[in-house]
Structure 1
Amino acid sequence: MPSFPASAVCRTLPGATFNQLRDLLHQTALAIAPQATATVLTEAVLSATNRSLDLEVEQFVVVVSEPFSALLSAKAVGPESGLEPGLHSELHSGPELHYESSTESAACEVNLTFEPASIAEFLFQLRPLFSHQSDVPDTLGQLCQQLRPNDAKLQSEFTLQLVERLAIAGTANPGLNSDYPFVSVCQPVEEALRQQVEQERLLNQVITQVRQSLELSSILETAVQQVRHFLQADRLVIYQFDAHLAAVRPNPQTPFDSEPLQHLQPGYGCITYEARAAAEISSVLHVAEEENCFVGIPNCQEKYCQGYTLAVNDVEATYVISPCLLKLLRRHQIQAKLVAPIVVQGELWGLLIAHQCFAPREWQESEKTFLQRIAEHLAIAIDQAQLYAQVQQQKETLEERVIERTQELHDALAVAQAASQVRNEFVATMSHELRTPLTCVIGMSATLLRWSFGHLSDRQRHYLQTIHDSGEHLLALINDILDLSQVEAGKATLNLSEFSLTNLVNQSLQTLQEKAESNDIALISEVRIPAAGDRFTADQRRLKQVLLNLLSNAIKFTPEGGQVTLRAWLEAETAMLQVEDTGIGIPEHQRPLLFQKFQQLDTSYQRKYEGTGLGLALTKQLVELHGGWIDVDSTVGMGSVFTVHLPAQQPSAATDVPTTHSSQGNLQGRIVLIENHEESAMLICDLLTAAGYQVVWLVDGSTAVKQIEILHPVVVVADMQLPGMDGYEVMHYLRTSPATQALKILVLTNHCPDKTDSHYLEAGADDCLEKPIEPEQLLYKVATLMDSVTPAALEAAYSP
């Protein structure tokens, strides 16, 4: 934005008017102070130097700040004398700033400038006067560095007030020039300042529109109207080049009345905005340039891109050798034109053109500068609009991508849910299909080992034991896979009960004692839990599974002659369980693999040590299911230490379940078994018969419900997965029929959840038994159900 000329005011004024201008500068400095630092210097600063000011001025005021700077100076004129010493002003404190002078009517030559270079030159001339003060010259140098062209808004406000005071001074002293024959006037101040004020007002209005609005069409339409009025031009237009016509279109309500835009020659454009002084001036809206008219005008667009402003005072004289262009200008009543380029981001977007239609016109330098400044601000508005359009396009694109991605995620979720449903169904089916034959393998081998019919040789007993142990091992692998699947799916629940940690530790060690002895490994127990406080609440089965996994892992990786130690102690409400071995240890770089599924540490381990790599992964999941965590510390060649931190859970109504039981119940009771799998049914029948119960085996559920009313059993053992009428339907019929409401129902299922959250119990079952069946558990649960039924209840239930 161009600055003011070196002397905005240079004229002779009364001393009183000069003092008013001093007050105006001080008031402007005070108005700036809240937003920026403003420094004010007057001739009073020279009193400390004892040196005269050799600048041909007697009084001065310098205001220096980043947004606004000015220099006001004065010296006496006339044949009599200079300004008396009393004219030197004294700044009074308080809200009102004024200057006292004994010769306020004396005339003085006043010079006011806003030019940074002139102010800097004046400050530079002050520096020698303060050479004896080391810091003052540096301060003056720093003030020079703050000088900038004045803020347009502040300049406009100051200029308006300046014009008012000068007008008042002219009215109060009409004969000032005749009274003082030595007065010189540098320029016609009032008219120039009024024009400058009007320019600044219009510029401020355009700037405000640019800053506050993104409606480019409105900005451009308003701008051409106001600029035309200010320049008093017959017509003012905006010409857009074809490359930018798509970015900002003219008013869509105005129809095109000339060549269609798609037929424009490359590199040219058309007029998109127009303002006319009168209706008799022809419209050129949407008129396009003719290609041949620019032949012979080299580098036309390049010159405009560099900021070139074209002023043509008379087209007849300027384009006498360009008949094509002159013909075009005559056709549209153009006698003179002033053209300023609109350059956006270094590219020529268009032209801002003023037309004089009925006579030539000599364009003033101030008019050229003004049109150029308007074009610069319109370029800013266009750039903002283009950026906003890009942002909106990116926003729409992003929204479309979000919608598409959301739909993709929705589809993927639906596929995942379907896959999860298929997996759950597969897991349930495989659980049944795998556990059922394992029931026969484990159950029958255990039955033969316990109640063999005839003499067994040592080899036969060894074979049976191997079959039983292999079945147990296979069951453990299946349970690990199913348990891990349930935990990861968020479907695992805790069957909480209060139990003895010491007993749990001893049972875990006892389970693996034989395996440790076969590998020549010593199992050591270190339990530091007082007997009085040896009660803990957790899922006993899952916690035992954690201990067995850690102990089995330690035994597996400990060489012969080593030892495995299981420690247990309590810290407040947290159980600390620690398994330490003297095994091979774990390298630091392989520890991240410890708790990952299907991972063993390296291929050599996989060849030497059996396992699926699920044990530690499941252990970590089960510990975290309790709200705890597991740590590991290991040294290669010396061993590893796994420490489980297990917070106590909220107690439930569940109680301890003994691991071994004897069939001491009502042996006179009759049991109905509903099982379609022959091997499983034979095993259960043999176990219950050997225990002294009367067992009736039924295969079909629909037949069973009719037979139960005739057989009058005490307990019904039913598989939940029956063909035809399944276990749920059997239970519903038995519970709704008055003749069978008193009997007890034990269901066989692949997974027996917590009693507090069991859908089997809600459906009518009294208890459940998880497959594969452990003989002790079966006998214990049947005996418990038998004991819970009184003969009177049975007699009342089955009496006619």
Structure 2
Amino acid sequence: MDKALYQQLEQERLLNQVTSQIRQSLELSVILSTAVERLQQYLQVDRLLIYQFDFQWSVPPGECSLEPGWDVEEREYETRPTRMANFSGEFLASQKGNRGCVTYEARSSEKVLSVLHLSEADSCFFETPEAQAKYQKSHASLIIQDVEKTYAYSSCFLQFLRRIQVRAKVVFSIVIQEKLWGLLIAHQCHQPREWTDNETKFMAQVTEHLSIAIYQAQLYTQLQQQKHTLERRVTERTQALHDALLAAQSANRAKSEFLATMSHELRTPLTCVIGISATLLRLYSNGAGIKQLPIEKQQEYLKRIHDSGEHLLELINDILELSQVESGKTVLQISEFYLSKLAQHCLTSFRERAQSKKVLLSGDIQIQPHQDRFIADQRRVKQILFNLLSNAIKFTPETGQVTLRIRVDGNTAIFQIQDTGIGIPQEQQPLLFEKFQQLDSSYRRQYGGTGLGLALTKQLVELHGGVIKFTSTERVGSTFTVHIPGQPLPSLNTQQRVKNSAFKTSLPTTSTNNPVGRFILIENDEEIATLICEILTAAGYQVVWLVEGLTALGQIELLQPTAVIVDMHLPGQDGYEIIRYLKNNTATQDIKILAITNNSESIDSESVLVTEVDDFITKPIQPNQLLNKIISLEL
């Protein structure tokens, strides 16, 4: 009796030591390694290990710590299909599809075979669904005193146990939050063993404490991950705020430099106009003085006044033009014109300026007669070429060369302006099309300018749905290439209506001789809706703006509009549902539909946009594209 009491006290003492050491750490690796070492020492078993499910070692195949003589086929766990732990001999079915291996091990000596990293093959085992429910429970166990007797009926599995030197074993399930996490396994390698109640009870108690400790370690790990995530987000937000501050400071400096530059650019021609006109006024007030002034000098003074005035007008026009384009109020005036005539006009306009700088200006017009007629906004295309030619001549030194090339590829006109000028430094190229930027201050002082020309040029190109690209090498030259697609030619009535109604916001009155198109717009974004309404009302159309798709359906049936403009991404009810309703309703199936999509959407030939709508337009909304779509719907 005293001996049994002593054993119980000793077991409790050891259990307290093991559990206290386990709970002293929240690191899972420390907890598990401590548990297997102390438990192996107490039980005096040859090998004690933990098999963990859903675990993958990062070691390459073949680096398992199996000793020589182990079948290579059994240890290539990384290259085989998923293998299961089945040290219980009957647990395969419950974990079928999971992956795991031996993660911790303690051995009585180096002579005992190591099975660390081992992941068993599943070819030897039978599916036993009853085992799943059994091992999902806490304290589930399997006690085998002699595997030779217990598994005599299964030669395959018995052969496997012989290979890893297992003669007797005890298995306990480690269950975390009602989910099987792993197995605690004790092996006697060379002889049978009768496992006492005290030993199995002790293993069960350790397993229970392990489950709690593992769960706490997992919670601690999650907490640490959340902490690191929050710290990373704080760092990212701080960096984002810092970047935003730098961007704001940079924008503020750019605007300050722009205002200083603009003041200089405006003051120079104004000073010239005021100074020369004041001189002429004094001479005219004295009759004798004007007679003494040679006629050539008078003409020179007047020409300088005229040129300075034109320069001022160009500066002001650039500012107003860019402001209108960015606010979406610019509407292209589409017309048909000849590209060759436009090119000759541009070359003639800049010939004198090029000659004054001793720069050779030439043209290379590669246009076939049937390609010469082009449809676009002639004034804007000319403005694009003027800006690029002006820059090319400005930044090309004496004896340099500027070439204007024009060709047509399909429905696209390609303009190329090449110069042998100063070129653009690599680090400055990303700023080329930004507002208020003109490379650096030294260029501005030497060449002048506000830095708006290329920004406006890019906006006008994109207003046509085109693109502008450039290549440049410092001290070698630059080449700007513009692709402008041909635009649909509107009807004469629409051209006249757009011309007469541009930038008017009041709705026009209907007339029996000239009926006004009525459109229903379904759009929840106020900025987009306001832009579309302004464009269409300026062009002489009536627009009814509705925010919710469900409310719009009844209004469409009642008003019977010329067309419905619908955003495909409405909250609550998307545009696809509205389109299907309109097409399946006899009262609305003939009404035309213009869909608004995101620019990033890919539209294939089988999509709803192609099969059920009459046309579509992508965001951001371009005024000329919208009007062209509306015009095509009316025809």
Q: TM-score, normalised by structure 2?
A: 0.41
Higher Cα Rg: structure 1 or 2? 1
